Structure 1
Amino acid sequence: MRLKYFFFSLIAIAFLSGCSNDSSANINNSSAEWAFKFVVWDGYIYRLSDEYVDDIVEEIGEVTNHSVIEDTYSGNFSNVYEKGTKYYAIQGISTEEAIAIEEEGKYRKAIRDGKYGEK
């Protein structure tokens, strides 16, 4: 009988350790349910790249809605960045090609990937 309770306890501990209420887990895995990390600006989805840029022209918008849960949202949405994160135009690159996202004092390039909400 003790062995039965021991195995039940192990299973319960393993299951519960996989569940976390730690909000910092959402920062590092903010797009865990999405296919990729992105922002939406002006009705278009921009996929985040690993490239950072320096030549910023002007602020063009900001995140107005953020969620880590996959769905369709309105406004300038992101599955990574919090509400208020700024978007910028990049010198010499059309916003139809790419934009920059302010990230801790740097500007991360995001490549346009098509109309938001269309598959």
Structure 2
Amino acid sequence: MKYKKGAILFIMAAFFLSVTTGCLNSSASKWSYEFVVWNGHIYKESDKYVDEITKEIGEVTKYSDGEGTYSGNFSNKYEKGTKYFAIKGVSTDEAIAVKEQDGKYRKLINDGKYAGGK
């Protein structure tokens, strides 16, 4: 069966376009930074650790590394069940901490209201 040159070029272009579009969509679905959501606010991960925490205030109830809209105490880094803590001498309106697997408490800074689910 013979194919015209134009038909072959069209098929190749369509294939190339579908492959590159798929690659762009998968890379665009990642979050721009790591965070947790607590009490309706988003807390952005910092590179600082804290030594003194006061009490447990919540935990991650939903984890996903794919960008989307989620409700509850959500995180794009920490697994479901990761605990949130108040930091001694710091208002939870400013920052909270999460207990990481190595036992250290990482400081997370309040970045404002979470625009996601309720």
Task: Establish whether TM, by shorter chain, passes 0.5.
Answer: yes
User: In structure 1, what is the Cα distance between the partners aligned to 2:50 and 2:115?
Assistant: 27
* Aligned length, in residue pairs: 89
Percent identity of equivalent pairs: 65
The corresponding residue for 1:73 is 70
Aligned partner (choices 86, 90, 94) of residue 83 of structure 2: 86
Deviation (angstroms), 1:34: 0.4
After superposition, the C-alpha distances for 1:95-117 in whole angstroms (9 at most, x for unaligned) are 00000001020100000000001
Q: Which residue is equivalent to 2:108? A: 110
Instruction: Structure 1: state its 5+ residue gaps.
Output: 1-14, 16-31
2 CA distance for matches of 1:117 and 1:69?
A: 16
1:47-71 CA distance string (max 9 Å, x none): 0000000110000000000001101
Query: What SS does the aligned partner of 1:40 have?
Result: strand
Q: Which runs of 4+ in 1 moved over 4 A?
A: none
User: What is the RMSD of the two structures over their aligned residues, measured on CA atoms?
Assistant: 1.7
Q: Secondary structure at the match of 1:100?
A: strand
Q: Establish whether residue 55 from structure 1 lines up as the match of residue 52 from structure 2.
A: yes
Flag the structure with larger Rg.
2
